[in-house]
Amino acid sequence: MKANAMSELARVAKTIDRLVRPGMKPKELIAAVRKKHPNISKKEITRAAFYAVIVAAEQKSDRVSDLHDMAVRTRNSPDETPLDDR
């Protein structure tokens, strides 16, 4: 992965870490992330969510479970907001 792509992934992961809360729906997360990163795809959001899980686990954060749950649910959710329709 290129350094620029990795740094963008890290920025989105930080955004996700700040936004995820218990009970949040994947659709809510996708919409909130797209407010900060307008041209991001659902696939990129999902990838960044799993990256956020890895970072939280390395830091022994208590947020690992919440982040992992959201990453899995986001990966399995339909993307109801195509990039072209925003």
Question: Is 0.85 topped by the overall pTM?
Answer: no
Rounded CA gap, 85 and 55, in Å? 32
So what's the pLDDT on residue 36?
95
Q: What is the pLDDT of residues 42-54, one digit of tens each?
A: 999 999 999 999 9
Rounded CA gap, 38 and 43, in Å? 14
Q: What is the pLDDT of residues 18-44, one digit of tens each?
A: 999 988 999 999 999 999 999 999 999
